[in-house]
Amino acid sequence: MRHRLGLRVVLADLMDEMEIKGDEPTIEALADFSKRNAPHIKGILNLTIPLDESPVWILSQYLGQLGLSTQSRRPLEDGKRVRYYRLCTEDVAFAQQVLEYRQRQRDDRERRRQEEREQQAAYTARMQTMYGIDAPSIPPANVIGDNNCGGMDGQVNPCDSWWRQVKSYATLAIERIAHGVDSVKQFLNTLSSDERWGVMMAIDEQAPVMFEQLVAEVPDWVLWMG
């Protein structure tokens, strides 16, 4: 909605510390569009647009929703006072910090996703070479609904949650190795197929020596995964 209003263009100019006047075409177009679509704006943005308010007042309401405010000056031009508006310096600095933080968050999520893809590809290649099988992609779709691990700012990443749970299962499975392969198999039978695969992958990651011993004792361990 804000994009259709043309607010992005106005905001970009303001963030670049440009000054604007209330009678500029972009501001007037934003106000006209807002008044024509006042019911929709109320429903979507929860913002009431009075039909008798000025373009600058309407703009200030949108900026207020974003945590921004303006300051003005009135220089003398051709014998008349003309009011110019710009964003408050403190608001610009804070907004830039927020934008930079969100960009870092997106970059970090993308880096983690890339690392997970590379680890998955390497593990799949290893499983194919050693046992002639394809390991499932993780986390499985039927565990978290889809494989989109991006999440939202401030929310728990479902991939991280699934992996933490699987790694805790792997710790329990490792403890059972000392009691024999039947004990491990009995424990794995209490898990879903996807969780079994995840546990085996986690054991290989956390205790590769034990993993090699386990698969040496049970060459057909892949049958447990079904």
Give 53-107 pLDDT, tens digit per residue: 898 998 888 888 877 888 888 888 888 888 888 888 887 777 777 767 777 887 8
Show the DSSP H helices in the chain as ranges: 2-5, 7-15, 25-36, 38-45, 55-65, 89-131, 141-144, 158-177, 181-188, 193-206, 208-217
Task: List the structure tokens of 21.
Answer: 């006047």
For residues 124-133, give the mean pLDDT.
Answer: 65
For residues 16-36, give the mean pLDDT.
Answer: 86
84 burial type by CB count under 10 A (0-12 exposed, 13-18 middle, 19+ buried) = middle
pLDDT at 108 over 80: yes
State residue 128's pLDDT score: 67
DSSP letter string, 58-81: HHHHHHHHTT--EEEE--EETTEE
pLDDT at 202 over 80: yes
Give 93-106 pLDDT, tens digit per residue: 777 777 677 778 87
State residue 1's pLDDT score: 52
pLDDT at 154 over 60: no
State residue 135's pLDDT score: 54
Amino acid at 24: E
- pTM for the predicted model, two decimal places: 0.43
**Domain locations in the chain as residue ranges:** 2-87, 94-225
Hey, is 20 helix, strand or coil?
Answer: strand
Percent of the residues in the chain that have a pLDDT greater than 90, as a whole number: 1
